[in-house]
Structure 1
């Protein structure tokens, strides 16, 4: 008996170590990719080891961590679907036994924990730390800025606590519900995160239709459109003449309007030259194929949502709360197997990309649009928070709209 107990404890220990290593490797990959993305858009600054450079570097690392968590929230649902299909296809394969329900649920719990940490601690700290200068009369330095940042965080926590407490009193004037708010970890933070996730879900519903319509315009700008009865050489020649005329007018002058007009003409010339250098396949086939894919993805998404609404009207088990968790690898999470699983994964990524495009297309959030090598750290913090809110709402919204049949992990669903 004792040997059996030791063997079970050893197996549990090795399983936990294996899960920690896998989680670390996955997060390391996401962190490296996030760092490359942020440094691509971050405004280049001097490399002097002064106080501001240290503050910017710390804020950069915190933003990278937040963006990595957002990526984890986006990839969790596809990873769960792929894992279930692999386990069903190879149920007794020794080399994939590490891919189990314990690992999946552990990833859900970690993403839920880190989402709360980034949203309520790291991102406010990064913003206040970036804007802090130290209290008046105190000695300037990193310590003074850290002290001011913690004071601002404390005041912000008191403000949010008071707002949520008053809102709870107005909505549900019950002694038990009021006292439950004093339980900071078990009730207050999940309650606050649920409110923010609700706003994220509403924002996702608002941005996705805009993004679906905007995707055609964006792809049209990125791809080379078919050239039918167009003389590109003549257009490029006219652009060259306009560019030379503006350059002659700019000699010895520094007029902002003329420089903007010159930049526009140079951009037009670059686009025309790119269209001229494009291959025949890129000109005549790539653009229609991509537009057809976008149209097909949009149509399938709308049809799946419409069918899910019909299921909700006639079947209670189709409700997210009414369905049961079938477990990872026990039964297929998709009705038509691997084909539907692949379609669901593609539609989920398409939904996320469309929501991000729609978010930056709204006039309210146009100021957060990142620009290559010219984005301030304050704007990057705003972008990371926005993407984190959208990505945290994506699994629940995909489940609610019928884009996926995967049951969201209880800890993540309770916080969303």
Structure 2
């Protein structure tokens, strides 16, 4: 081998080494950024009282911090999983627009492939190791008879976690053997534990996440309209805000006066009935008594102060909303609010249209199933027929799906118990919320690929999930998602009209009945 060939081999090794070091530095920087953002988010919701953090016990402080770190890391991985597909699509279009740019040479297929592999690996670790360990660690107190301390709690946590892992793996083995009898056998279980059964377990969890997205995403489409309506100020067409504000002030003053009279009347009655001698009970001037004696609401004197206070709170809330409407700028009312509503409606309609097109292509046989294990090279062709504009629209729709699924999830009735509240959420609730968010964010790339939002193939082990190759599952998922979303959208914009029509029909029915009875 001559000197030139040796130098070329050395240069190739150096280039591979430099690329590997650069990729790991980028991964570390992304992890630090996501971890910082996740910690700030958790700090906003976590509870800081003595129930969660015992300032007098060093072991409890250490346990709390370790569990909080694991919870924050899992949330960072969840955010990274949600950003996988948008980052990959945007990277492909950037390389197409600037193929020879010096500043984007670090953005290559190896980097994106490694990002998908790292997210898949840490998603499994967070879902099956870190979060269960964090919860068991916080609930542990050490085995009886052992010396109390952090080591005893670690032993108990590892023991309980090992038993739980055996149970979960046993259930996974039974389920996989029922689906595929060829996998049965203890020897095959040991040999294919990392290559078959653990990926099968994650595929089951991802399938549950996709089903959960099927429930909460269409509901989130409609709920997001209400959230935007609460945040932004609506335009006050055909309304005199100053007149309404004056009317609210008058009613508020009237309610306060009534409340003061009722309270004074109750106090006078208490003074009159508590007279020990029983004389001069009628010392109150009759005209004054008639002034304080007011007609009770619904015939119950005791409920009148509570009803007046409730009405006063309602008036104050309505006044705040009216004051917000009064002080808002005309640009925000007449441009920002209609633009936001039209943007939400446009993204929802586009999503339904893409789902319908994808369903028809699956039925005809034009489009292949989302199961894919082929190697994808970044920067060769555009993923959209519309070029960078279509790719940008895909990124917006995928981000919109993530936002709607989050809004829909936390507005579902069964999430009221675990819904995080500002500075009132315990560590156990944070761990549960991180597990749910991680499950949904890991299923978001699968959802986008199943619905045909993008043509970007799922990389790494994400594209090797077996149920993605089932035609019936993919087809029925598209049908149910498209139908449910369309019905929710139609119900949202026709609910007021339908209620008015029903009210008019009922009114006309009673008028007709009264007319018939009058004739008879």
TM-score computed with the length of structure 1 as normaliser: 0.90
Query: CA separation of 1:193/1:309 partners in 2, compared to 1, >3 Å: closer, same or farther?
Result: same
Corresponding residue for 1:157?
165
How far does residue 187 in structure 1 lie from its aligned partner after superposition?
A: 1.7
Higher alpha-carbon Rg: 2
**Matched residues in 2 for 1:147 and 1:51: separation?**
14
How far does residue 363 in structure 1 lie from its aligned partner after superposition?
A: 1.5
Q: Find the partner of 2:98 among 72, 90, 98.
A: 90
**Matched residues in 1 for 2:260 and 2:72: separation?**
42
How far does residue 314 in structure 1 lie from its aligned partner after superposition?
A: 2.2
Runs of 5+ unmatched residues, structure 1 = none
- Tell whether the 8 Å contact from 1:242 to 1:265 is kept in structure 2 after alignment: no
- Tell whether the 8 Å contact from 1:212 to 1:298 is kept in structure 2 after alignment: yes
Cα deviation, 1:89-145, whole Å, max 9, x if unaligned, reads 111112211100000000000000000000010000111112222223333332222
**Matched residues in 1 for 2:224 and 2:261: separation?**
39
Query: CA separation of 1:353/1:93 partners in 2, compared to 1, >3 Å: closer, same or farther?
Result: same
The answer to whether the aligner puts 1:38 opposite 2:42 as a matched pair is yes
Corresponding residue for 2:180?
172
Corresponding residue for 1:186?
195
Cα deviation, 1:365-416, whole Å, max 9, x if unaligned, reads 2222111111111111111111111111111110110111101103222258
Bigger drift between 366-375 and 308-317 goes to: 308-317
**Matched residues in 2 for 1:222 and 1:30: separation?**
26
**Matched residues in 1 for 2:320 and 2:349: separation?**
34
The answer to whether the aligner puts 1:59 opposite 2:67 as a matched pair is yes
The answer to whether the aligner puts 1:19 opposite 2:23 as a matched pair is yes
How far does residue 266 in structure 1 lie from its aligned partner after superposition?
A: 5.5
- Tell whether the 8 Å contact from 1:239 to 1:269 is kept in structure 2 after alignment: no
The answer to whether the aligner puts 1:234 opposite 2:247 as a matched pair is yes
**Matched residues in 2 for 1:22 and 1:263: separation?**
53
How far does residue 15 in structure 1 lie from its aligned partner after superposition?
A: 0.4
**Matched residues in 1 for 2:24 and 2:141: separation?**
39
- Tell whether the 8 Å contact from 2:373 to 2:463 is kept in structure 1 after alignment: no
Runs of 5+ unmatched residues, structure 2 = 265-304, 467-520
The answer to whether the aligner puts 1:196 opposite 2:205 as a matched pair is yes
**Matched residues in 2 for 1:175 and 1:324: separation?**
25
Query: CA separation of 1:398/1:135 partners in 2, compared to 1, >3 Å: closer, same or farther?
Result: same
Query: CA separation of 1:374/1:242 partners in 2, compared to 1, >3 Å: closer, same or farther?
Result: farther
Bigger drift between 100-109 and 210-219 goes to: 210-219
**Matched residues in 2 for 1:48 and 1:265: separation?**
46
- Tell whether the 8 Å contact from 1:69 to 1:114 is kept in structure 2 after alignment: yes
Bigger drift between 71-80 and 277-286 goes to: 277-286
How far does residue 323 in structure 1 lie from its aligned partner after superposition?
A: 9.8
Corresponding residue for 2:477?
none
Bigger drift between 139-148 and 300-309 goes to: 139-148
Bigger drift between 318-327 and 161-170 goes to: 318-327
Q: Find the partner of 1:124 among 110, 132, 149.
A: 132
Bigger drift between 111-120 and 374-383 goes to: 374-383
**Matched residues in 1 for 2:249 and 2:124: separation?**
53
The answer to whether the aligner puts 1:115 opposite 2:123 as a matched pair is yes
Q: Considering only aligned residues, what root-mean-square deviation do their CA atoms show, in Å?
A: 2.9
TM-score computed with the length of structure 2 as normaliser: 0.73
The answer to whether the aligner puts 1:390 opposite 2:403 as a matched pair is no
Q: Find the partner of 2:406 among 356, 367, 370.
A: 356
- Tell whether the 8 Å contact from 2:140 to 2:153 is kept in structure 1 after alignment: yes
Corresponding residue for 1:78?
86
Corresponding residue for 1:305?
355
Query: CA separation of 1:127/1:2 partners in 2, compared to 1, >3 Å: closer, same or farther?
Result: same
State the aligned residue count: 413
- What aligned pairs does 1:261-340 form with structure 2 within 5 A after superposition? 267-321=317-371, 326-340=376-390
**Matched residues in 2 for 1:349 and 1:225: separation?**
25
> Which one scores higher on RCO, CA 8 angstroms, separation ≥ 6?
1
The answer to whether the aligner puts 1:100 opposite 2:108 as a matched pair is yes
**Matched residues in 1 for 2:256 and 2:107: separation?**
60
